């Protein structure tokens, strides 16, 4: 009775089964995979957040496929804080970055057209691609004293069916920011193959270097879709508010925007109270981001101090984002290691294969874990080697 596109593999894996058992038995757990900022002990301006949801203008409905002007103006201001001028007409709000991906896949891809994704990266894409009949083809990120795009492999992955290249800037979980020379190379490739860039910048503001790395939203040379939202930028995933910025050559951009508008108009998925609150939520981002980056720096310092006391494990370079990748001895599969850490040390970590690392030998830990738990969790993790 059902369409093939929902024939997803929903079988639980051994690690998630072990985790469910651990929780059902009420055994204590130090969770080093936390990614929900509302559960990590950050202090939010509760009064201001709740007050922003009580705007009397929420009592009337003015549907607009491109969303409320005040919300789009606030997003344009977000980009002007990054020294990028984005006209409000080029911004379309969405309920999540995932929904923004959906819009872009819909306007670019016929069934079984292809989109390139980085590997390793966040395990969201396969479901999104399946339900939109898009075929994903991965291109590797290489690690050599820092991450970089393997352009040779990327070019070999292009086919006449390729419609776009996804770049996660910075990538989750590697924390790799796309450098100016990599951006230039991507532009050349996309321009010569007439394909688009799809840039996921949900972690853009979380960088360890003082200087803000560049955003794809400044790109006008090829058709580029840049997406971000409040779930990471302002630490408010529960508000379900994101956006899609379209940039590029004038004619192509106009065509893309009018197609996107049809999709947005069909669903009109943004609700009024949240759109009215977006300007205030974006203003509040600085307080959240300062706390988050202080946590990331503290946890990285803790991690480095503990790594310095042993020689079995090391960490890969982190440029930004909320995660650290640990290089660990390959004495068993990463999944077996994660299960052992759960059963014998009571800690939860992600094995590298969860993010499509091509080999064993990698564990991923969240740098937004509350500091004391992180300290104890890393101690227990290293004690297994």
Ligand X SMILES: Cc1ncc(COP(=O)(O)O)c(C=O)c1O
Interaction site with ligand X (CB under 6 A): 35, 96-98, 122, 124, 168, 172, 200, 202, 229, 231, 237, 242
Host H or E run for residue 225: strand 224-229
Q: Is the dihedral of CA 5, 11, 12, 14 positive or negative?
A: negative
- For residue 200, the minimal CB distance to ligand X (Å) is 5
Residue 205: DSSP 8-state: T
- For residue 121, the minimal CB distance to ligand X (Å) is 7
Residue in the block written with tokens 């998925």 = 269
Closer CB to ligand X, 229 or 320, in the complex: 229
Which DSSP string corresponds to 158-192? Answer: --TTEEEEEEESS-TTT-PPPPHHHHHHHHHHHHH
Closer CB to ligand X, 162 or 231, in the complex: 231
- For residue 99, the minimal CB distance to ligand X (Å) is 7
Closer CB to ligand X, 123 or 346, in the complex: 123
Residue in the block written with tokens 């960490």 = 315
Alpha carbon distance 82, 33 (integer Å): 30
Closer CB to ligand X, 288 or 345, in the complex: 288
How far, CA to CA in Å, does 33 sit from each of 58, 83, 377? 37, 34, 11
Which DSSP string corresponds to 38-66? Answer: GGTTPPP-HHHHHHHTT-GGGGS----TT
- For residue 27, the minimal CB distance to ligand X (Å) is 27
Closer CB to ligand X, 284 or 337, in the complex: 284
Q: Is 105 helix (H, G, I), strand (E, B) or coil?
A: helix
Closer CB to ligand X, 320 or 339, in the complex: 320
């Amino acid at each position: 009775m059902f369409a093939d596109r929902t024939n997803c593999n929903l079988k639980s894996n051994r690690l998630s089964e072990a985790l469910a058992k651990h929780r059902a038995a009420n055994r204590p757990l130090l969770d080093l995979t936390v990614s929900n900022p509302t559960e990590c002990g950050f202090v939010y301006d509760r009064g201001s957040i709740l007050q922003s949801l009580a705007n009397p203008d929420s009592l009337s409905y003015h549907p607009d496929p491109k969303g409320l002007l005040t919300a789009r103006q606030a997003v344009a201001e977000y980009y002007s804080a990054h020294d990028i001028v984005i006209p409000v007409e080029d911004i379309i709000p969405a309920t999540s970055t995932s929904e923004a991906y959906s819009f872009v896949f819909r306007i670019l891809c016929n069934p079984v057209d292809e989109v390139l994704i980085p590997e390793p990266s966040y395990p969201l894409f396969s479901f999104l691609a399946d339900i939109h009949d898009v075929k994903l083809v991965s291109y590797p990120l290489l690690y050599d004293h820092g991450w970089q795009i393997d352009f040779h492999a990327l070019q070999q992955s292009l086919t006449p069916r390729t419609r776009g290249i996804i770049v996660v800037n910075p990538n989750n979980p590697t924390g790799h920011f796309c450098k100016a020379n990599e951006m230039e190379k991507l532009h050349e490739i996309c321009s010569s193959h007439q394909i688009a860039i799809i840039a996921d910048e949900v972690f853009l503001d979380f960088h360890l270097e003082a200087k803000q790395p560049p955003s794809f939203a400044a790109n006008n040379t090829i058709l580029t879709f840049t997406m971000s939202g409040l779930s990471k930028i302002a630490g408010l995933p529960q508000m379900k508010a994101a956006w899609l910025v379209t940039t590029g050559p004038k004619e192509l951009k106009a065509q893309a925007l009018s197609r996107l508008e049809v999709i947005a108009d069909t669903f009109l998925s943004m609700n009024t109270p949240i759109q009215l609150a977006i300007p205030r939520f974006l203003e509040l981002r600085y307080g959240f981001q300062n706390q988050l980056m202080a946590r990331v720096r503290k946890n990285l310092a803790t991690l480095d101090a503990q790594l310095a006391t042993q020689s079995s494990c090391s960490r890969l370079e982190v440029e930004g984002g909320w995660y650290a990748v640990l290089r660990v001895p390959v004495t068993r599969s990463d999944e077996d290691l994660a299960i052992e850490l759960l059963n014998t040390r009571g800690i939860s970590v992600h094995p590298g294969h969860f993010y499509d690392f091509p080999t064993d030998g990698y564990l991923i830990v969240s740098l937004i874990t509350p500091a004391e738990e992180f300290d104890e969790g890393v101690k227990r993790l290293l004690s297994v080697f």
